[in-house]
Amino acid sequence: MNFLTPALLANGVIALLCTLLLAAVWTDVRSHRIPNRLVFAGAALGLVFNGVLPEGFGFVSILPGALGFWPAMAGLGLGTVLTLPMYMAGAMGAGDVKLVAMVGAFLGPYALLASALLIFIAGGVLAATTALGKGNLNLLLGNVRYMVMSVVFKTLMHEIPKLDAAPVSAGKMPYAIAVAAGTISYVVLASNRYLDFFRFIYPNI
């Protein structure tokens, strides 16, 4: 079992995360649903792997390894908190929120923040592409303007600023695509960054 190095174990965990994300994309595209059993099982695996595997700085890091159970729980909670406003605005479904929380259980809170930025960028591109394909781009832009103005108005009235759902939907989209694209992009970018770091320190690898 000596061949099961921390780096190899970490690569296996990340490969499993990517597989779960692609499975979520498949079901979301086909049925506009992400099964609870998929995201719940995935979140449980993320917590277990972070709790029992050799410790490191995260499965995508300079020192690959588990973060620990509680940092994984923090990542799961942060994934829920970050996506709740979009769920309340109708931009994401409950399954999408659970999917991002699952990603947090694997990556932990700090890596999730970077992933979330890429997820939201991918979501914006997906929304624009979907609306453009259906001829609803102007409606999408109107919805964005409506939600932003709603937040500004609530802030000026000293109310808690939260996104209100747009009055007319610009069309449903499988947001799991954005979650998978953003997360996998983060994994690729982070892996290359750490690989470049090691090549700088050890130029012969």
Between 125 and 17, name the one with better pLDDT: 17
Per-residue model confidence (pLDDT) at position 164: 46
Yes or no: say if 63 and 56 are a contact pair by the CB < 8 Å rule.
yes
- Is 145 domain-assigned? no
Q: How many CB atoms lie within 10 A of CB 136?
A: 18
pLDDT tens digit sequence for 140-164: 445 545 444 454 444 455 554 444 4
Q: Is the pLDDT of residue 36 over 70?
A: yes
Q: How confident is residue 191, by pLDDT bands cut at 50, 70 and 90? A: confident
- Is 57 domain-assigned? yes
Per-residue model confidence (pLDDT) at position 123: 83
Yes or no: say if 107 and 18 are a contact pair by the CB < 8 Å rule.
no
Residue 103 lies in domain = 6-134+171-201
Average pLDDT of the residues in 178-192? 92
- Is 144 domain-assigned? no
Task: Please name the residue that has the structure tokens 């994401």.
Answer: 92
- Domain count for the chain, please give it: 1
